[in-house]
Chain A
């Protein structure tokens, strides 16, 4: 066996370019699988972290389908603010926080920027943030009421946006009006949120063209209440309003599930693509093996003439194709990890951290990938190897 391995290595090295091109076919497939597996759980975790920051007794309401909450939040239909505030009457509802967003022109010490503004009532936001251990202030204070002209900055909005970093107590001009910086939020880790600035709903409505609407809302349930029942009642009551016909009421559990579902569909699609590329790789191996059987027909004859049995020839070719598969697997894993790591570094640069993880890719996973590629290689080699082994030596020797 050791000797057969040696012979195989020699013959692979005799045709280096062809061998490497074949191996490349496998590498690409495996690389894809590894990237998907090592980033997939990271993405899921990142999304779960965002959801957790809302807390476990929160219900989120937004227009549109559950599967695209961010799209619904960003544009499209809006709830009437009063319809949202009316939800307070439902038993089990503790707080209602209507939210809106808009991009507004902002100026600090003469430097002008377009900034995404998030609006909400301060009292509710403060309570929800403190309870759910979401954002917290790292500087300054929570504005005491919704009337004072005060703004709270997201982490990046405070420290990265302007050349001269605004401090607590500084004035910022928003759409021509002067607001005082009351505080700065801690870093969330998501660029969109960290770049935002926060205004009270009342201040916000003075700055926009269509007041009286809310893009979404966060509702907290009372302690001990049945959150699913509360969500159901909210849904029922909202179905009576006519502004937004298609909306979603999301509990944390459901949100997690929805995100998980979406991610698993994406993961599934990517894995199917990876499998297809693995199959393409296998066809590549088969093609190479057929060519190399043809090319080495005479040498097969020679080896048989000097005593190689059909099974020895079969083993030689199967080891060769298996080795091509396994080497492709090993390199694919290494390159996949490297690529995933680079992607996660880039994502971290954009504010999304901890994407890369070995959570769904332990040593058992690597062993499985290597086994699969080795077997794929062997299977791809079976037909050509059989053809090689079944040749009569005299016939093979005549081949030029």
Chain B
């Protein structure tokens, strides 16, 4: 979970760099095409990641052994 989101930030930076590179007319067409493909793949993955997030609000509670466990947090706004 954590790793994915760190990747999101990295991916966004990468994507911005790709668009910037592609803007540069000096970049050969082959490289440009590779950049384009990579960029399109990234945007697809990133959108999917954003749309796939479906998590619940959790609250930490002590279990019988005194360890903290995550349980669903019931809040009137937590639909």
Q: Do chains A and B interact in one complex?
A: no
